[in-house]
Amino acid sequence: MTNLRVDVDKDMIVDVQKRLGDMYTKAPNVISKALNRTITNVNSNIKKEVRERYHIKAGDVSNNLNKPVRSSASRLFAEVKSTGGPIPLDKFKVSPKTVNPNRKSPIKIAVKKEGVKKVMGAFVADLNGKKVFERTTDARLPIKRLFGPSVPQMLGDEDVQENVNTKALETLNKRLDHEISRILDKGRAKA
C-alpha cells in the first residue's frame, strides 16, 4: 500500500491567516478547499505519471487507487491510497499476444516504456482470455501465471513520486491564491 498525502504545516496556516487579514478565521475553510482540489489533481496526475513510464491502461491504475480522503476545516489533510497486488503481465505490452503452441522464439514483454525483455519459457494461453504463463516443471502441467509490479510499487518509483509531489505543490499554491482572492473579493463586496 502506498499513500500520497498532502499536509499543511503551521507556517502555511499562519501565512494564509496573514493574507486573509480581518477574515483570518476563514483560513481552515480556504485551506480545506485548496487541499480538496489538489487531491483531485493528484489522483489524475498519478494515472498520467504511471502511464508515462509503464505500459498500463488508466483503468488498471484506477482500479488500484482508493477514493481520495478529502479534507475538512477540522482535518487539514487529504490523501490518495493505492492498494492492490501484482498486476498480471498480460495487462502490460506482450508481443506477440497470439496463442501459438509451436512458437520457437520467446515472447517479449515490456512493463516499463524504456525496455522490452525476452521472457524465456513464457507463453500465451487462452484461459478465459489471453494470459501469460510459464511451466513450473519440465512436465506439461502445472503452469503458473506471470505477474508484473503492483500499482503501489509503480507509485514508489522516485520519478513518479517527485513529479506527482511537484505538481501537487504547484496546484496547492495556485488553489490557495484563488481561494484567498475569492474570500477577500467577497469581503470587499459586502463592505
pLDDT tens readout for residues 21-73:
988 899 999 999 999 999 999 999 999 999 999 999 999 999 999 999 999 99
Give CA–CA dist 76/35, Å, rounded: 8
User: Which stretch of DSSP H or E encloses residue 134?
Assistant: strand 130-135
Domain span at 25 = 2-86+165-190
pLDDT in tens, 87-120: 999 999 999 988 988 888 899 999 999 889 999 9
Query: pTM of the prediction?
Result: 0.84
102 and 80 assigned to the same domain: no
Question: Could you give the number of structural domains in the chain?
Answer: 2
One domain, residues 33 and 77: yes
Considering the domain architecture, whether residues 120 and 179 belong to the same structural domain is answered as no
Q: Which three cell numbers stand for residue 110?
A: 515490456
Q: Considering the domain boundaries, does residue 81 fall inside one?
A: yes
Angle ∠(163,165,15) on CA atoms, nearest 5: 140
In a domain, 94, yes or no: yes
- Is there a domain that residue 96 lies in? yes
Task: State whether 176 and 82 are in the same domain.
Answer: yes
Residue at 114 is within a domain:
yes
Task: Identify whether 153 is part of a domain.
Answer: no
Structural domain includes residue 152:
no
Look at residue 151 and tell me if it is in a domain: no
